[in-house]
Structures are given as structure tokens and as C-alpha cells.
Amino acid sequence: MNLTYQTIAPGALRDECLRLREGGMDFLVFLTGLDLGDEGFGVVYQLENTQTKEQVNLRCVTPNREQPVLPTVSDIWDIANIYEREAYDFLGIIFAGHPDMRRIYLREDWVGHPLRKDDNPEAQNPLRMDNEPLSDTTWQYELSEDGTLTKRENVVFEPEDYVVNIGPQHPSTHGVLHFRVAIEGETIKHVDPVLGYIHRGIEKMNESMTYPQMLALTDRMDYLGAMQNRHALCKVIEEAMGVEVSDRVKVIRTIMDELQRIDSHILFFSCLAQDLGATTAFIYGFRDREKILDIFEETCGGRLILNYNTIGGVMHDLHPNFVQRVKDFIPVMRKGLKEYHDLFTGNVIARNRMEGVGILSKEQVIAMGCTGGTGRASGWHNDLRKLRPYDAYDRVEFDEITFETGDSFCRYMVRMNEIEQSLRIIEQLIDNIPDGPFQEKMKPIIKVPEGVYYSAVEGSRGQFGVYLESRGDKSPYRVHYRSTGLPLVYAMNTACRGNLIADLVTIGGTFDYIVPDIDR
């Protein structure tokens, strides 16, 4: 939808934010920086009241290009901590009062800020083959009354801390993620995630691509939510251009999204089991997953990277075998699910390692913006399919799975139960896929009217949103993807503190983050 936003002067930002927070705006949906050219640098905030579902969009601009400084909101919404570090890394916006102004994706010795329009990252940063520096201290900047910026050193790890590096090459971090973990005995004191080992600069690349070209990269971010990611981007462009897709496309997209969700949750189960040493369960999971991949392959041509949704429709019509294949698959999956429960869910070792471990309360998940299964395991009703139904979700019946405890076991069970719900959704839709065109007629060159847009879908692991700012050209002015995984990685510190180091693997496994989606 087209966003209406309030522009707030930097001086008034904190008061306004505090007032909104008091008024119940407890969820910071996304925060991102913008390069506005001569106007300076801006930051956009989207806030949501989790009770009333009201949303507010704010924008704060600083005209100073030499030394852009804005006040921090990291003490108001916990998750702003990591979002502001991202804005600092990409655009060099300094957040006064932020306790930890370090780069987050790029190397500490990186020169420049790549998302600035006048920055030339390739020229300034040749391939560096020396080991990257990692400091144990960080900076906090303060802006005084007369406009001078002072900085103070903050400590991340004390010299006497015992710090263990987990990753970037570690089999159970699920990709190239790096945790620096301070431990005392076997108890975790502090987890400091180091990101960017798969930062591919997608947001910057998008700024020089046409809209159809952009689509290809979304599949490759969260590859277990390839359908949903691309769906979100198509949705935001369609809404911006006022294109209404046919009923057939809506139903196809819904079915595909749900198949993808099952695919992702099976992989979650397999990997978690593998991390806990249950190799058999891994093989069982992949056995069933191949069946979904067969269905995808027949219609889309790809197994993992599907490239199926397009602006105004889908790439090809459904394969004639599709309906039958899906119908055959549903009972197979139900049987498989029962096997998983027999094999793994009831297992004493698995239970002991998951129950009561890594507890997050409802307030914590909201403050840290952990959407998706992780949030629902703590009792936060955040399923966008229920809150703001899109496509065909308003005409199907399904339950939003929530738990109360918020431990690893709940996070695991949410995903297992969601497989069943996804099957239910597919069952209701598969027999009545309406007729109609599978692709609307679009102009050969797609231009999005000037404006600011945001649209989100429920991805496999949370709210996946696309923020799009267009100036009416063939390519967007700024794109930001609300990553589903970034809040989860941020929450690792809170969830792991006080637990044993061996539990870090289980907690990380049940969070179910995908690293290329975090790094983008």
C-alpha cells in the first residue's frame, strides 16, 4: 500500500517516539536509512500497535551530508539496536546515544558506506585477503547542545572474558554466521553475532535494475521462502501500479506459498534433528521434501530457486498433473508427519534438550520484532495471513498456531503444527482453482508511479516485507527488504544468556534463520 508518513524534525524524534510507545506502539516493524540526495539522509520507521493493529510511519531527515547524526530509538524498541547498526553500516548515519555503533555487515576496515548514492565501493575496497580485524570495544556517540559530536568507548568483551568463536564455518550455524560467545564455565554470558559473510549487496544492486530484473534476486535471499519472497515483491509492485491479478493467480500463489512453507518446515525439522545428532530423522525429512520439489519442478522448472511469480501473475500455467500430484502428496505428508512425531518429538533426549531452554517472553519477542514461528511460540498473534489476509487466505479456514511458554520445544511444535495447517489450506483450495488468465497484460517497460510503498507477506519464518521508494523511473530509488532472520539473530543474545553453550545449537536451530536472508 502507499504509505502516508509524518516527517519529524530530528530534535523532536525522541519525544514523539516516546509518546507513541506510551500510546501502545510496541512493535517496530522496520527501520531503514535512505539517501535523499541534496536533502540529506533520512530514516524511516514503521510502528505497529500489536493490540489494535494500527500502524504509524515516521520519517526523520537530517540535511547534513558531511556528518549525518540522528537520535537513537534503540532504548525505546530493542530491535532498533541492530537496525540502526545496519543503517550506520550502509549509509553512515550516526545514531547519537546508541551504545554500539559498529559496522555489522561489512568488514571493520571497509572504506565508505555502499548505499550512499555517491559512494564507489568497488574502487575503494579491493579484495582483502588478510584476516579481518574484530575489535572488542565499540563507540557510543553523543551530540551536545552546540552540535559537536563526542565519542566514548564502550566494551563488548572485557579483557578477562573467555570468548569462543562459533562460525563462520560451523556445521550447525546453518550457513556462514559467526557468533562470538563469552562463556563462564559452560554458561553463556553474552552472544555477539558478526554478520555479513554472505552479504551480497542486493539492495544496492536493485537500485540499478529494472523491476522484472529485481525479481530474480529475491528467490536467492531466503531460498526456503523463495515463493513468498517473490510474492511480496510482486505484491508491492502490483499494488503500487494498481494491477489486480486474476482470481486464478491468487489461488495459485496461495497454494504455492503453502507448499513452500511445508518445504521449509520439513527442512527445519531435518536440520534440527541433524544438529541434535538424529541423522535418521534428517533422511526421513528429505525423503518427503523431494516430493514437494517434484511438484515444483513440474510447474516451475526449478527445484529450489523457482522464479515463478511475475508482476501481474505467474510465469507458467499449472502443469496438468499438478492437482493430482498435490492430492497424492497430502496423505503422504500426513503419514510422514506422524512418523516425525514418533521418531523425534517424543524422544527423551530431544525433549530434554528443548524443553525449558531458551525461553523468550511475549514482551521480549515483540520488542525484538521476532515475527513468525518464534513469536507465535511465545504467544504473540502475528500471523499476517490472519491479521491482514491477502490473496486467497480470507476464504480458507485454518488455525493460527500459538503457544505460551516460548521455549525451544514450543518453537519446534509451532512449525510442526503449521505443516498440518498448511495442508488444510491446500486441501480447501486444490479442488476449486478458478479459471482465468495466469498473467495480466503488462506494459513491456514497467514503471512504478512515484511514491513510497510497503507490503508484506507471511514468509516461512516471519513477516517478509518490501519497502519500495519510487521516483517514477524504470528502476526503484530505494528498496529495503524486511528480513525475517535479522531480528531472530538479534534475539539469540537474550535467548541464550544463562543457558549452556551446547544449547546454543538447539536454540539457533529452533529459531530457524536463513543466513542469506539476514545478510541480503
Partner 1 sequence: MALKRPAIKNIPYEEFKDNETFEKLVEELNQNGVNIAVRSLDWLFDWGRSHSLWPLTFATSCCGIEFMAVCAARHDIARFGFEVTRNSPRHADVILVSGTIVKKMAPVLKRLYDQMADPKYVIAIGACSVSGGPFRKSYHVVQGVDEIIPVDVYVPGCPPRPESFLYGMMQLQRKVKVEQFFGTTNRKERDPFKQEYKERSEKILESQEEA
The residue among 92 and 175 lying less far from ligand SF4, judged by its C-beta, is: 175
Strands 69-71 and 94-96: parallel
The cell for 275 is 544438529
**Interface region with partner 1, contact rule CB under 8 A, candidates 166-174, 345-353, 359-367, 474-482:** 166-174
C-alpha–C-alpha distance, residues 359 and 372, integer Å? 16
Partner from ligand SF4, partner 1, none contacting 242, C-beta within 5 to 8 A by type: none
* Minimum CB distance to ligand SF4, residue 58 (Å): 35
The Cα 391–Cα 298 span in angstroms is 23
* Under 8 Å between Cβ of 34 and 478: yes
Minimum gap (Å) between residue 359 Cβ and partner 1: 29
Cα(304)–Cα(291) distance, rounded to whole angstroms?
13
243 binds ligand SF4 (CB under 6 A): no
What does 487 bind: partner 1, ligand SF4, none (CB cut-off 5 to 8 Å by kind)? Answer: none
Are 251 and 433 in contact by the 8 Å Cβ rule? The answer is yes
Residue type for 19, please? Answer: R
In whole angstroms, how close is the CB of 307 to ligand SF4 at the nearest point?
A: 11
Q: Should residue 272 be labelled a site residue for partner 1 when binding is judged by CB under 8 A?
A: no
Residue nearest to ligand SF4 according to CB distances in the complex: 220
Closest CA to 238 of 437, 390, 382: 390
Q: What's the closest the beta carbon of residue 114 comes to partner 1, in angstroms? A: 6
Select the binding partner of residue 129 from ligand SF4, partner 1, none (C-beta < 5 to 8 A, by kind).
partner 1
Pairing, β 313-314 against β 187-194: unpaired
* Sole binder of ligand SF4 in the list 220, 287, 362, 386 (CB under 6 A): 220
Site for partner 1 in 370-399 (CB under 8 A): none
Single-letter residue type at 509: G
Give every CB contact of residue 5 below 8 A, 6+ residues apart in sequence: 44, 57, 58, 59, 452
Residue 130 touching partner 1 (CB under 8 A): yes
Distance of alpha carbon 520 from alpha carbon 517, whole angstroms: 5
Nearer to ligand SF4, 243 or 305 (CB): 305
Please report whether residue 419 would count as binding partner 1 according to CB under 8 A.
Answer: no
Taking the least distance from each CB to partner 1, the nearer of 293 and 500 is: 293
Q: Select from 180, 204, 385, 411 the one that contacts partner 1 (CB under 8 A).
A: 204
Closest distance to partner 1 from the beta carbon of 120 (Å): 9
Q: How far is the CB of 202 from partner 1 (least distance, A)?
A: 8
Q: Is 56 in the site for ligand SF4 (CB under 6 A)?
A: no
Half-sphere exposure of 264 (CA within 13 A, CB side): 31
Nearest one of 113, 139, 7, 144 to 62, comparing CA atoms:
7
Contact mark string toward partner 1, 84..123, x via CB under 8 A: ---------------------xxx------x------xx-
My answer on whether omega of the bond before 168 falls inside 30° of 0, hence cis, is: yes
Q: Nearest-CA neighbor of 474 among 116, 244, 212?
A: 212
Question: Which residue, among 401, 436, 432, 406, has the nearest Cα to 419 in the 3D structure?
Answer: 401
DSSP character at residue 347:
-
Positions 258 through 317 that interact with ligand SF4 (CB under 6 A) = 305
Q: How far apart are CA 309 and CA 227, in angstroms?
A: 7
Please state, in angstroms and as integers, the Cα–Cα distance from residue 41 to each residue in 58, 61, 66, 69, following that order: 14, 6, 10, 9
Our finding on whether 125 is near partner 1 (CB under 8 A) is yes
Number of residues in contact with ligand SF4 under rule CB under 6 A: 2
Stretch that binds partner 1, among 80-88, 302-310, 353-361, 492-500 (CB under 8 A): 302-310
Closest CA to 371 of 402, 413, 332, 393: 402
User: If you search the block for the grid coordinates 518453537, which residue do you land on?
Assistant: 411
183 binds, among partner 1, ligand SF4, none (CB under 5 to 8 A by kind): none
Q: Which is nearer to partner 1, 305 or 343 (CB)?
A: 305
Q: Which stretch binds partner 1 (CB under 8 A): 38-46, 67-75, 162-170, 232-240?
A: 162-170
Residues that bind partner 1 (CB under 8 A): 105-107, 114, 121-122, 125-132, 168-171, 175-176, 196-202, 204-205, 208, 216-217, 220, 223-224, 267, 270, 282-283, 286-287, 289-290, 293, 303-305, 515-516
Residues that bind ligand SF4 (CB under 6 A): 220, 305
